[in-house]
Amino acid sequence: MRLEAQIAAAYGLDLVCGDPRWFPHPVKFIGGFAQILEAPLRRLIANARWAGIAAVALVVGTTAAVAAIVILAAHRTQPWLGDMVSIILLYTTFATRDLAAHAAAVHHSLAKDDLPLARTLVSRIVGRDTVCLDEPGVVRATVESVAENTVDGVTAPLFFAALGGPILALTYKAISTLDSTFGYKNERYREFGWASARLDDLAAWLPSRLTLPLIAVAAAITRMHPAGAWRFGWRDCRQHASPNAGFAEAAAAGALGVQLGGPLCRNGQVVELPHMGEPVEALDRRHIPCEIRLMVVTSLLAAMIFLIVRALVVRLI
């Protein structure tokens, strides 16, 4: 059995959202389509910002249209087939399983005292230099990555799935993928990626703020620090460079009783990031499975609450 499969089984991840390996992942197609469009749009539209806006319109519009066509075609073939396709497409929009599996692989390496392998594994989920990280640095990078991606990869797709089913969930994933592809503040993408970054900020605005109380409740269920999640989540949420990711990361820091943020190395340069949370406990390897449990319970709470609200709204209408 592969290490990833062993980890997934150990954490019960088969019961959590992820993506079936035999099914082509829509996000890969969305990202590839966006990259294919960049060069011709830059040639056709001289203004980089307007070229980026056109890319957003084409990618988001095409994603929604293709999802609708595929689901409708499946329904017209057989109603049960349409339902199955809808469920599979919906399933691929949630990253709970992948986030947990990647983080658990890092923890597994640390548990075997294989720091070089842990550095290699964590380099796949963070955008910082990992070669010289010590164990607390690897733990911090892993926890920050899982916490930061809780909104984009878990609660926001669940929110839009409850709001508009697989089509809206995939539309959100297209927006999120565009931000990951073009939303950089460097010379190449400062203008071209402007629309991608702004639309992603707008789309995740409400889900990110709903995620903070969900993490506080999840902290209570998992016997962590719910008061810390609530207190430090609201206190430090705006310290993050992202207007949305800070809500989940600051709440996670408070829930775990650790301090996140601080200096890191990126492209050979030391970058000083604001701190979130308080160092009630020193970061160590046990905080990785704690963060995995926190993220998984948060995702289950989000799914339950969003579906209940949806059912109540549909019933009232």
135-150 pLDDT tens trace = 999 999 999 999 999 9
Structure confidence at residue 25 (pLDDT): 72
User: For the chain, how many structural domains are there in total?
Assistant: 1
Contact criterion met (CB below 8 Å) for 112 and 73 = no
| More confidently predicted of 145 and 5 | 145
Q: Is the pLDDT of residue 87 over 70?
A: yes
DSSP codes of every residue in 249-317: HHHHHHHHT--EEEEEEETTEEEEEEEES--SS---TTHHHHHHHHHHHHHHHHHHHHHHHHHHHHHH-
146 closest CA partner among 106, 91, 192? 106
Q: What is the dihedral of CA 282, 283, 286, 287, to 10 degrees?
A: 120
pLDDT at 109 (0 to 100): 95
What pLDDT, on the 0 to 100 scale, is given for residue 58?
A: 97
Identify the burial level of 204 via C-beta atoms within 10 angstroms of its C-beta, where 0-12 means exposed, 13-18 middle and 19 or more buried. Answer: buried
Residues 6+ apart with CB under 8 A from 55: 34, 37, 38, 41, 178, 182, 192, 195, 196
pLDDT value for 28: 85
**20 has pLDDT over 60:** no
Q: Is 98 helix (H, G, I), strand (E, B) or coil?
A: helix
Under 8 Å between Cβ of 282 and 275? no
CB atoms within 10 A of CB 123: 17
Q: How many residues does the chain have?
A: 317
Please indicate, yes or no, whether the overall pTM of this predicted structure exceeds 0.75: yes
Q: 263-303 pLDDT, tens per residue? A: 888 888 888 889 999 999 999 999 999 999 999 999 999 99
Identify the weakest region by mean pLDDT among 36-45, 107-116, 263-272: 263-272
What domain range includes position 164? Answer: 3-316
